[in-house]
Structure 1
Amino acid sequence: MKLRFTKMHGAGNDFVVLDATRGPLSLSNEQLRRLADRRFGVGADQILFVEPSQTPGVDFRYRIFNGIDGDEVEHCGNGARCFVRYVHEHGLTDKRRVRVETVNARLDLHLQDDGRVTVDMGPPRFAHADLPFDASGLTPRTVNGFELWPLALADGDAVEVAVLSMGNPHAVRRVEDVAHAPVGLEGPQIEGHERFAKRVNAGFLQVVDPGHVKLRVYERGAGETLACGTGACAAVVAGIRLGWLDAAVEVETRGGAVRIEWAGGHSPVLMTGPAVTVFEGEIEL
């Protein structure tokens, strides 16, 4: 099977985007992993499917598959920005504001005049059932009315994390210097921790000042990526709840920067950042 694709990235978080609007497209986990393989395929953190929506008032359906294991996941903020650039550049819509549905949410995407994209990520969720997170037997430390939960790691030490959902699960740990944070050691342990029944995205957050942070994320099913949109949202929301951050924050990742805004409460989280087409091609699977 020959398959046309577009390679894109949002702040270094890279994707293979596939057009399934003209007919159904079904790929096995093995084929998805082949596409994402950086030596034998195209290379990507995740694979994005653009599909027609069956819901009135929604423009497209948006599906996301991890590159490492081929599993479908709920949400990807950087991918959402690439999604709206893709449908606009490929003539699938002339709207600059697009509404899409994922496996568990609806997103409003706005293509700005400067090429950046603003995504309404919806409000954060803090109920442990939304992750899910098992806090039984744990005693949190409360800061500014928000909990930091102790997670025991393999060496017997415990790290403190804030937990929340941005449509997918996140655990955010504050570190002094993100460049030297033990992401490769602790990231897999947090991601697969027994307290998270469906695993979790592990964020390592350095607060530079109340309007500027640095972030690295070990993503669920993808490993460490150059950027993570939902991870940036989760880190900022946690930082605001804990009293560390302002309502608008520049998030610096190894792949680039995004701006995150949250007014608190049930307000939606707004993310603005780049979306870039790298190249297009055809691969035989």
Structure 2
Amino acid sequence: MSTTISFTKGHGTGNDFVIVPDPDGALDLTEDQVAALCDRHFGVGADGVLRVVRSAAIDPAQAAGGAEWFMDYRNADGSTAEMCGNGIRVYVHYLLQSGLAALGDDGILIGTRNGALRVTRSDLGYEADLGRFRLERGDVLVRARGLDVARPGLGVDVGNPHVVVALSSEDELAGLDLTAHPILDPAPPAGANVEFVVPADPLVTGDVGAVRMRVFERGVGETLSCGTGVAATALAVRDWAGSGAPDRWTVDVPGGRLGVRMVDGHVLLSGPATLVYSGQFTLA
């Protein structure tokens, strides 16, 4: 039996999503159905799916805590993920544009698998408080096509796992072949997104640092942008730069520019969100 669903296509700096409204939690999308939606040849095409569902239907505790809506994020291969920094901004933009929610002066709480996170407006569009972060000090070696030798990576947890690798030049960054999954040694138990970064010249202007990066997302592949990866990248470079490093950063990705702030042990991500079109799709 097939089911026809409504959807909206959206993106944040080129990181694109199929948004599926399901306020009462009636849908139970399988991994194959999510993969079919995200297929760029036979489906809508996206890096992931954002199911718009009330927290009460997924996690009543988050609803009781003030998060009416839960962002059920799935990677393009159908697997679940803890968080998506670009996705949460697109999710909020959809709620506002569709009249399902309003954004007050103190923003809006959105339930995620990493807890309830607050989203507010910003000069770049929306800013999401991703919560507390953790730097993983264990040594990780990263091998990738286009790199002559393995490079050390810094593990960064911003609600989902990342490994950030510093490269020596723009040429090295451009020469990466991210059609193949980078190899991590040791491999994290749940996998990780892998970010490759080069500093701007100069690294810091005024009180703002600047870097460029590319990313391979677990369950997806290379994407034009990764919000939590941008936050992890800024945190890693700030750590490498030492005690005098700034708390504000801009990170350029192939899909655009995002902003990162560190405030009271939290990391905040800001950037745009765009809705492209709406339609219907028939799921097998």
Partner of 1:71: 79
Classify 1:127/1:194 alpha carbon distance in 2 versus 1 (closer, same or farther; 3 Å). Answer: closer
> How far apart are the structure 2 equivalents of 1:241 and 1:115?
25
Please say if 1:108 is aligned against 2:118.
yes
Q: Which amino acid aligns with 2:249?
A: V
TM-score (norm 2): 0.85
> How far apart are the structure 2 equivalents of 1:193 and 1:161?
10
Select which of 17, 20, 40 maps to 1:18.
20
Structure 2 runs not aligned, ≥5 long: none
Partner of 1:48: 50
> How far apart are the structure 2 equivalents of 1:29 and 1:196?
22
Please say if 1:30 is aligned against 2:32.
yes
Q: Is the contact between residue 123 and residue 267 of structure 1 (CA under 8 Å) also seen in structure 2?
A: yes
> How far apart are the structure 2 equivalents of 1:227 and 1:29?
23
Classify 1:237/1:186 alpha carbon distance in 2 versus 1 (closer, same or farther; 3 Å). Answer: farther
> How far apart are the structure 2 equivalents of 1:206 and 1:39?
33
Q: Is the contact between residue 140 and residue 155 of structure 2 (CA under 8 Å) also seen in structure 1?
A: no
What SS is found at the alignment partner of 2:26?
coil
Structure 1 runs not aligned, ≥5 long: 129-134, 136-148
Please say if 1:212 is aligned against 2:204.
no
> How far apart are the structure 1 equivalents of 2:258 and 2:90?
13
Please say if 1:119 is aligned against 2:128.
yes
Identity between Structure 1 and Structure 2 (%): 33
Partner of 2:239: 241
Alpha-carbon displacement from aligned partner over 1:109-164 (angstroms, at most 9, x marks no partner): 1134x670110011112357xxxxxx4xxxxxxxxxxxxx3516489943111111
What SS is found at the alignment partner of 1:81?
helix
Q: Is the contact between residue 73 and residue 82 of structure 2 (CA under 8 Å) also seen in structure 1?
A: yes
Please say if 1:168 is aligned against 2:168.
no
Classify 1:115/1:163 alpha carbon distance in 2 versus 1 (closer, same or farther; 3 Å). Answer: closer
Greater CA drift, 21-30 or 168-177:
21-30
> How far apart are the structure 2 equivalents of 1:193 and 1:39?
33
Supply the RMSD in Å over aligned alpha carbons: 2.2
Q: Is the contact between residue 178 and residue 204 of structure 1 (CA under 8 Å) also seen in structure 2?
A: no
Greater CA drift, 35-44 or 181-190:
181-190
Greater CA drift, 178-187 or 48-57:
178-187
Q: CA deviation at 1:186?
A: 9.3
Q: Is the contact between residue 115 and residue 275 of structure 1 (CA under 8 Å) also seen in structure 2?
A: no
Classify 1:241/1:186 alpha carbon distance in 2 versus 1 (closer, same or farther; 3 Å). Answer: farther
> How far apart are the structure 2 equivalents of 1:86 and 1:197?
33
Classify 1:152/1:66 alpha carbon distance in 2 versus 1 (closer, same or farther; 3 Å). Answer: closer
Q: How many residues align?
A: 261
Q: CA deviation at 1:70?
A: 0.5
Please say if 1:189 is aligned against 2:199.
no
Alpha-carbon displacement from aligned partner over 1:237-265 (angstroms, at most 9, x marks no partner): 111111264211111110010110114xx
Greater CA drift, 178-187 or 205-214:
178-187
Greater CA drift, 238-247 or 158-167:
238-247
> How far apart are the structure 1 equivalents of 2:231 and 2:224?
15
